[in-house]
Amino acid sequence: MKAYKELYYQLFDGLHRFSYSMVRSKEVAEEIVSDVFIKLWQIRARLGEIGNLKVYVYTITKNFSLNYLQRTYKNAPVSIEEVEVEPIVEMRNPEELFISAEIMQTIRQAILQLPPQCRLVFQLVKEDGLKYKEAAEVLNISALTVRNQLAIAIRKLGETLPAPVQKLIPATKLFSAS
């Protein structure tokens, strides 16, 4: 049970975020993650047979989330490419990054404008630290596609940032005696 709890704590963030980006309700996402863990509990004796647990749980989470969408909405998407994805790029404290709230907003906008699959790739690789190969398996696409999609996402992000001439922290501010 202790190991189970640890696993839950370890995976909850990522799975919840992943599910939320598809179902867009914290409560539903929480229930879906709960269902995923009930599933894990049921098959706990055979977990050793699963090649990559991370890929496995993300995949069930994806399936459960899609099931939920199909059940809840009439014109439900049947595959992940059609899901309207809302990535949560959480940045608690922009000041820490020397980024203004305005720039933060631009970044969020940029991410929102990415195609769904691109957004999911960005989220799985950035937020959840999945390898290209793992994200590819979860989303049922090739690793090469993951690689390219991520590059597109990062490029879009880079292009929305202010021009490179503008220094982030003026050197004077850093070194002047206060």
Partner 1 sequence: MTEERFWLLFSARLSGEATPEELAELEVFLQENPDAHLRTGMIENIWSVNPPLSEDYKEAAFNKHLQRMSNHFSEPVLQYESEASEEPVIEKKPRRVIYRVIGWVSAVAAACVLGWYAYCYFPFASEDVNTAQAQNTVSTKKGSKSKIQLPDGTQVWLNADSKITYNENFQDKLREVQLSGEAFFDVVRDESRPFIIHTNVIDVKVLGTAFNVRSYADEKNTETSLIRGSVEITLRNNPDKKIILKPNDKLIVDNTEAKAETASADIAPDKHRSNRSSLLTLRKVSFKENESGALETLWVKNKLAFDKEPMEDIALKIERWYDVKVIMPDDRIRKTEYSGIFENENLEQLMEALQLTGNFHYRINKKEVTIWP
Residue 21 in tokens: 């980006």
Residue in 5, 12, 43, 47 with CA at minimum distance from that of residue 26: 12
Which CB, 81 or 106, lies closer to partner 1? 106
State the burial class of residue 106 (Cβ atoms within 10 Å of its Cβ: 0-12, 13-18, 19+). middle
Chain residues in the site for partner 1 (CB under 8 A): 5, 8-9, 12-13, 16, 30-35, 37-39, 41-43, 46, 49-52, 55-56, 59-60, 63-65, 67-68, 71, 89-92, 96-99, 107, 125-127, 131-132, 147-148, 150-155, 157-158, 161, 164-168
Q: State the minimum distance, in angstroms, from the CB of residue 177 to partner 1.
A: 25
Instruction: Supply the minimum distance, in Å, between the C-beta of residue 159 and partner 1.
Output: 9
Nearer to partner 1, 66 or 85 (CB): 66
Number of neighbours of residue 171 by Cβ within 10 angstroms: 8
CB of 14 to partner 1, least distance (A): 10
DSSP codes, 159-174 = HHSPPTTS-SS-HHHH
Residue 27 vs 178, nearer CB to partner 1: 27
DSSP code per residue over 28-68: HHHHHHHHHHHHHHHTGGGGGG-S-HHHHHHHHHHHHHHHH
CB atoms within 10 A of CB 128: 18
- Whichever of 65 and 178 has its CB closer to partner 1, that residue is 65
Minimum CB separation of residue 148 from partner 1 in Å reads 7
User: What minimum distance in Å lies between the beta carbon of 176 and partner 1?
Assistant: 21
For partner 1, which is the closer residue by CB, 172 or 178? 172
